[in-house]
Structure 1
Amino acid sequence: MVVVGAGMAGVQSAVALREQGWTGRVTLIGAEPHQPYDRPPLSKAVLLGKADGSAFDIDFEALGIELRLGLEVRGVRSSAHEIDTASGPVPYDVLVIATGAEPIMLPGSEGVPGVHLLRTLDDAARLRPVLDEQHDVVVVGAGWIGAEFATAAREAGCAVTVVEAADRPLAGTVPAEVAVPMAQWYAESGARLLTGARVARIEPGQVVLDDGTRIAAGAVVVGIGARPATAWLAESDIERGPDGAVVADDRLGTSLPDVYAVGDCASFPSRRYGERLLVHHWDNALQGPRTVAANIIGETPQSYDPIPYFWSEQFGRFVQYAGHHASADTTVWRGDPSGAAWSVCWLREGALVALLTVARPRDLAQGRKLIGSGAPLDPQRAADPSIPLKSATL
């Protein structure tokens, strides 16, 4: 058994195989030299110097999992059942692809001094002095990672300007009516948010927008999205979609026999939502490996059809999201979005398909169960924040 990728999805795949009874060899290959680690703390405790790292608390030796770290993987030769690496071929009987996602670079910014990403432990280590020295920071992109970094930078006392090309934050994630109240959080925190603003170029000490505006920048952090880290599969026979993701089936198997794909690098068909999903979130990397292990080891095939879930801590708020709202036909608000705690629910043909909550964890917990059950909701009762969501069913 060979698992390529030593992030959450890869580590959990290796562990799940052992937990479910795999007795053969397990080799876990990672591109980074560090002991495998969790990523969410990078934009929080690690970035702010409250923790030195976030290594998984797993005894790989005791589990009989061989770690091969700092090893670049270059391709798959399916006919020979082997992986091509910088140190030579690695044979496999079964292969799990879990290489995650890689950040999208701002055109023209690669190699420019003072420009940073926030994806790896090394990225966080390079950014800690920026916060310690309270540089003026420009964040390019008002998505989840941009908001989380802006939060940390403000907490550290930096002056922060966030530049977003769209007309609102989280433009590719939530509808405008949901994003608009969230835009106010930037100003409340002391960060400046510029929407409809595009970066023309980055010069020493400043960011130049396409309208000629110049913004002082002791450091620039780019958070404009991520794509599946699958370029190394370009010469293989493994099918990838237009988004670059490995095309997995409902069992997380790929177009090649004995090859599976899980986590941020793979899309899968969702029966619940009637479309193929590509989920770049921690919970997917945690849940998918259990299905992969079960389908490798077990005699009864298991389908993977999760309720997507993620969370974000930003500007003093805990935001959670569950489901997939693209096919919703009704939006129901619970509470005042200008207040400290509120939720928004998306319904399709009367049933809850997704919800976003701000400081309302009970709504999230109950909502996930309602999405799973498909029970119809009474929109009027669901709109009353004093009524438990579970009590709004018809």
Structure 2
Amino acid sequence: MSEQTQESAPRQGGPAPRRVVVAGAGMAGVQTAVALREQGFTGTVTLIGAEPHQPYDRPPLSKAVLLGKAEGSAFDVDFEALGIELRLGCEVLGLHPADHRLDTEAGPVPYDVLVVATGAEPVRLPGAEGVAGVHLLRTLDDAERLRPVLARQHDIVVVGAGWIGAEFATAAREAGCAVTVVEAADRPLAGALPDEVAAPMAAWYADAGVQLRTHTRVARVESGAVVLDDGTRLPAGAVVVGIGARPATAWLAGSGIVLGAQGEILADEHLHASVPDVYAVGDCASFPSARYGERLLVHHWDNALQGPRTVAVNIVGRATGQAPAVYDPVPYFWSEQFGRFVQYAGHHAGADRMVWRGDPSGPAWTVCWLRDTRLAALLAVGRPRDLAQGRRLIESGVPMDPLLLADPARPLKAATA
């Protein structure tokens, strides 16, 4: 659907809804339910989750939970006190917008307003499904299955040198495992960062005692081994696959909700979907950004935290006739890998200049992207103050002086033109 067609989709409006159903009990779903109560919504709020566990936060899974330093990461939310009905261990199966009905494993669920927050699901390694010892790391159950693997200090092969691959490799090395990371591209984070930014990160693997094999594909996985496309056999007590994620929206087939090329819901600037009375938030939805002049699909924690506030304001504001809130954040995420705290804010596509602050071979540095002298994005390694100041500078859109910006000793906020 084009932006013009998306904008002409039926607008949300009418009387105040009595029943809001949230499909998905991850960060985006939980925060939507909580934000509705914070905005004063007094109707029924039902939160439906496919997993049987109490809703939990995902970032600790690749860190404290995986290493046995925490038993779980349940959200500190008193759902009963907030009057939020939980339906857990209940998978959503289909949607009938004309009837305002959600189909689930436990039967149909009617709604006045539906919020789709089903997140993303990991891409699986072709040919590896059903092979013993092959793991994903997306859910609490995944982390629980991997914990004893690390405790036994197996030889581990990680497929994919993206964010999750690096974080898992970090935890596995901390647990004393021998780790080999296999990456089809020529560098880590090939799909996320430009060559010159991702290239210095390759050295982090060797520094941590991790063998990184780039330009390498997996031919097949066997019991106890991974066979590469050049015939090399890598011993593997376990294989962890981290080759990306896709929006979990297959269940919307036939619903009339328009999806994008990656299966994401094409939400508008208010996070409405393309059918009445349905919103979409978090990893399963993209939104048009006026700030960056393109549609963004953001698979990160902060997006799942911020978007629900816009959705809640717009649901509660429907009956009052107030102008709907627009969602156009500065994207933000972080990663802890190989003893480094990596933070990113903004969106660097379309930038026309890149400025380094510090030596990328050192322990702390930042790279900034400018577009028309304004800061569009930055990646900060071990420089949290740069990130905090840079995020505000992106939001304000003030012109920057590239020469001042390149001085790592100068505060970022003091590098304005």
Q: TM tier, shorter chain? A: over 0.9
One-letter identity of the residue aligned with 1:346: W
The C-alpha deviation readout for 1:18-75, integer Å capped at 9, x for no partner, is 0001100000000000000000000000000000000001000000000000001111
One-letter identity of the residue aligned with 1:156: A
Instruction: State how far apart, in whole Å, the 1-side matches of 2:179 and 2:138 are.
Output: 19
Number of residue pairs matched by the alignment: 394
Kindly state the Cα deviation for residue 224 of structure 1 after the two structures are TM-superposed. 0.1
Instruction: State how far apart, in whole Å, the 1-side matches of 2:398 and 2:91 are.
Output: 48
Q: Find the partner of 1:127 among 130, 146, 162.
A: 146
Q: How does 1:195-344 map to 2 (within 5 A)?
A: 195-298=214-317, 299-344=322-367
* Residue in 2 that maps onto 1:31: 50
Q: How does 1:128-143 map to 2 (within 5 A)?
A: 128-143=147-162
* Residue in 2 that maps onto 1:384: 407
Instruction: State how far apart, in whole Å, the 2-side matches of 1:145 and 1:189 are.
Output: 16
Q: How does 1:58-77 map to 2 (within 5 A)?
A: 58-77=77-96
One-letter identity of the residue aligned with 1:106: L
Q: Find the partner of 2:371 among 342, 345, 348.
A: 348
* Residue in 2 that maps onto 1:17: 36
Instruction: State how far apart, in whole Å, the 2-side matches of 1:366 and 1:302 are.
Output: 25
Kindly state the Cα deviation for residue 135 of structure 1 after the two structures are TM-superposed. 0.2
One-letter identity of the residue aligned with 1:86: E
One-letter identity of the residue aligned with 1:236: S
Instruction: State how far apart, in whole Å, the 1-side matches of 2:74 and 2:356 are.
Output: 39
Instruction: State how far apart, in whole Å, the 2-side matches of 1:311 and 1:140 are.
Output: 21
1:79 aligns with 2:88: no
* Residue in 1 that maps onto 2:12: none
**Unaligned regions of 5+ residues in structure 1, if any?**
none
1:372 aligns with 2:372: no
Kindly state the Cα deviation for residue 87 of structure 1 after the two structures are TM-superposed. 1.4
* Residue in 1 that maps onto 2:67: 48
One-letter identity of the residue aligned with 2:360: P
Instruction: State how far apart, in whole Å, the 2-side matches of 1:61 and 1:389 are.
Output: 45
Kindly state the Cα deviation for residue 300 of structure 1 after the two structures are TM-superposed. 2.4
2:279 is paired with a residue of what secondary structure?
strand
Instruction: State how far apart, in whole Å, the 1-side matches of 2:105 and 2:389 are.
Output: 48
* Residue in 1 that maps onto 2:416: 393
1:182 aligns with 2:182: no
Which deviates more, 189-198 or 71-80?
71-80
**Unaligned regions of 5+ residues in structure 2, if any?**
1-19
Instruction: State how far apart, in whole Å, the 1-side matches of 2:406 and 2:117 are.
Output: 40
Instruction: State how far apart, in whole Å, the 1-side matches of 2:309 and 2:281 are.
Output: 10
Structure 1 segments (4+ residues) deviating >3 Å: none
Q: How does 1:79-118 map to 2 (within 5 A)?
A: 79-118=98-137
One-letter identity of the residue aligned with 2:139: T
The C-alpha deviation readout for 1:189-241, integer Å capped at 9, x for no partner, is 00000000000000111100111011010000000000000000012111111
Instruction: State how far apart, in whole Å, the 1-side matches of 2:76 and 2:393 are.
Output: 33
Q: Find the partner of 1:162 among 181, 189, 195.
A: 181
Instruction: State how far apart, in whole Å, the 2-side matches of 1:199 and 1:120 are.
Output: 24
One-letter identity of the residue aligned with 2:234: I
Kindly state the Cα deviation for residue 80 of structure 1 after the two structures are TM-superposed. 1.0
Instruction: State how far apart, in whole Å, the 1-side matches of 2:380 and 2:414 are.
Output: 17
The C-alpha deviation readout for 1:304-330, integer Å capped at 9, x for no partner, is 000000000000000000000011110
One-letter identity of the residue aligned with 1:28: L
Instruction: State how far apart, in whole Å, the 1-side matches of 2:145 and 2:307 are.
Output: 31
Instruction: State how far apart, in whole Å, the 1-side matches of 2:264 and 2:173 are.
Output: 35
* Residue in 1 that maps onto 2:22: 3
1:79 is paired with a residue of what secondary structure?
helix
Instruction: State how far apart, in whole Å, the 1-side matches of 2:264 and 2:349 are.
Output: 20
TM-score (norm 2): 0.94
1:339 is paired with a residue of what secondary structure?
coil
